[in-house]
């Protein structure tokens, strides 16, 4: 145990369990505590990690001077206070996104992170995806000429309205902020103009599909389409997820089926097709980069920073706001949403199913 990094996990739902699994697999972590407010989650934690102390009140983790890292995987409403508390108690932070439940509070969390020498990161998982790194490298080699257009689409029958994640916002914020973030990552600059269109599917109060297009400050244009409205009641569910990048001379694109990702690069001198395992949420990569940073005392540059999360979250909210100020049609009925929620509750294997608590 001695050379392992001592960590306390707070929030043991779907994501918390992914972290536990990857940390156990890597052998680099001593998972000293798991905290969750739900008795059912604590019961599952006891079964999956019998060596950990399973607790209801997070305070014990913060007060244990031997805990080096806290993992914040509960919901967005508790995150800012937990981030601040972690730093006050001298602990490094691995956080889920978003880093708080409002933009103002997210910037509060960024301020805390930027006022300490303790390490922090946030799971903007696409930044650690092999396919995006490969595509970015190809672009940087000049293979597609000048980067001109970024098109991103992520449509799945995933988390339905009212099912959970209320503090994380509508699907374009909860899930869509990843695509907002990765578009920024490709261009290395901020958005300049945008025009968003959304639809209030199944008469839900918030839009669950949104498409936004616009420009970046460097002139690159983008379109992002995201929604968890994609065949929720279809007999056999499917999804449509891709990135399509167009330069002045070549193109680079990727699609995946959540198991395998396929990258196709059509450059001036190279034509490449790469097919590799998708990699899921890349939590293994994030945790390893974080463990490397703690062991070396040097923060790994590939670790996403809280500031990037706050920026992407803020733009995702802006795009939603823009759509709300336009024509916002209502299509479908509440009773269809009820059928969807019932189906998801009884499904064993579905897109982004939350743990039942
Ligand atoms: N990076 C990603 O790709 C990604 C993907 C999915 C979810 N997330 C984020 O991860 C977070 C967790 O999502 P999830 O899907 O695991 O949700 P979930 O509902 O499955 O799990 C949340 C867990 O936190 C517990 N909890 C709530 N408040 C708590 C508190 N104050 N203290 C301790 N435990 C508390 C709940 O009991 C539950 O067990 C969300 O903020 C979500 O936005 C990120």
Note the CATH number of domain 126-279+312-346. Answer: 3.30.360.10
Binned at pLDDT 50, 70 and 90, residue 132 comes out as very high
Residue 356 is predicted with a pLDDT of 67
CA neighbor of 108 nearest in space, from 75, 74, 80, 71: 80
Would you say the CB of residue 35 lies under 6 angstroms from ligand 1?
yes
Ligand 1 atom at minimal distance to the Cα of residue 35: 33
Write out the residue limits of the CATH 3.40.50.720 domain(s) in the chain. Answer: 5-118
Q: Using CA atoms, how far apart are residues 235 and 19, in angstroms rounded to an integer?
A: 32
pLDDT tens-place string over residues 260-289: 999 999 999 999 999 999 999 999 999 999
Write out the residue limits of the CATH 3.30.360.10 domain(s) in the chain. Answer: 126-279+312-346
Residue 355 predicted with pLDDT over 80: no
Residue 5 Cα to ligand 1 middle (Å)? 23
Average pLDDT (202-216) is: 98
Tell me the CA end-to-end span of the chain in Å, nearest whole number: 32
Alpha-carbon distances of 90 from 65, 87, 302, rounded to whole Å: 8, 5, 23
CA neighbor of 119 nearest in space, from 292, 290, 4, 302: 290
3-state DSSP assignment of residue 286 = helix
pLDDT tens-place string over residues 211-268: 999 999 999 999 999 999 999 999 999 999 999 999 999 999 999 999 999 999 999 9
**Mean of pLDDT over the chain:** 97
Ligand 1 atom at minimal distance to the Cα of residue 76: 41
1 compared with 54, residue with greater pLDDT? 54
Would you say the CB of residue 288 lies under 6 angstroms from ligand 1?
no
Average pLDDT (67-86) is: 98
Would you say the CB of residue 168 lies under 6 angstroms from ligand 1?
yes
Interacting residues of 110 by C-beta distance below 8 A, sequence separation 6+:
99, 306, 307, 310
pLDDT tens-place string over residues 56-65: 999 999 999 9
Residue 278 Cα to ligand 1 middle (Å)? 22
Q: Pairing state of beta strands 191-201 and 209-216?
A: antiparallel
Architecture of the 5-118 domain = 3-Layer(aba) Sandwich (3.40)
Q: Using CA atoms, how far apart are residues 45 and 353, in angstroms rounded to an integer?
A: 18
Residue 60 Cα to ligand 1 middle (Å)? 20
Binned at pLDDT 50, 70 and 90, residue 354 comes out as confident
Indicate the DSSP class of residue 355: P
Ligand 1 atom at minimal distance to the Cα of residue 56: 33
Cis status, amide bond into 98, omega within 30 of 0: yes
Binned at pLDDT 50, 70 and 90, residue 1 comes out as low
Would you say the CB of residue 313 lies under 6 angstroms from ligand 1?
no
């Amino acid at each position: 145990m001695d050379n392992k990094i001592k960590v306390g996990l707070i929030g043991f739902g779907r994501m918390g369990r992914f972290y536990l699994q990857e940390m156990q697999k890597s052998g680099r972590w001593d998972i000293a505590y798991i905290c969750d407010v739900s008795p059912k989650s604590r019961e599952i934690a006891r079964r999956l990690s019998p060596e950990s102390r399973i607790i209801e009140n997070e305070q014990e983790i913060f007060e244990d001077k031997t805990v080096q890292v806290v993992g914040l995987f509960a919901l967005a409403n508790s995150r800012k206070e937990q981030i601040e508390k972690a730093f006050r108690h001298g602990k490094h932070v691995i956080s889920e996104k978003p880093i708080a439940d409002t933009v103002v509070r997210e910037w509060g969390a960024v301020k805390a992170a930027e006022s300490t020498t303790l390490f922090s990161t946030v799971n903007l998982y696409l930044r650690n995806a092999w396919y995006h790194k490969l595509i970015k490298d190809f672009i940087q080699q000049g293979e597609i000429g000048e980067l001109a257009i970024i098109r991103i689409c992520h449509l799945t029958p995933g988390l339905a309205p009212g099912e959970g994640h209320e503090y994380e916002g509508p699907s374009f914020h909860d899930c869509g902020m990843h695509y907002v973030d990765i578009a920024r990552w490709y261009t290395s600059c901020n958005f300049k103009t945008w025009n968003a269109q959304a639809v209030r599917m199944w008469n839900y109060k918030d839009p669950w599909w949104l498409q936004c297009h616009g420009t970046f400050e460097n002139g690159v244009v983008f379109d992002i389409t995201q929604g968890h409205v994609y065949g929720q009641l279809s007999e056999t569910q499917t999804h449509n997820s891709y990135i399509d990048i167009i330069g002045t001379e070549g193109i680079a694109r990727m699609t995946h089926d959540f198991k395998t990702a396929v990258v196709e690069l059509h450059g001036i001198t190279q034509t490449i097709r790469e097919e590799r395992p998708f990699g899921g949420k890349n939590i293994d990569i994030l945790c390893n980069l974080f463990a490397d940073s703690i062991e070396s005392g040097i923060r790994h540059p590939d670790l996403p920073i809280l500031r990037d999360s706050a920026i992407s979250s803020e733009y995702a909210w802006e795009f939603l706001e823009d759509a709300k100020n336009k024509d916002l049609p209502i299509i479908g009925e509440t009773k269809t949403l009820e059928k969807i929620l019932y189906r998801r509750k009884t499904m064993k294997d579905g897109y982004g199913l939350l743990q039942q608590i």
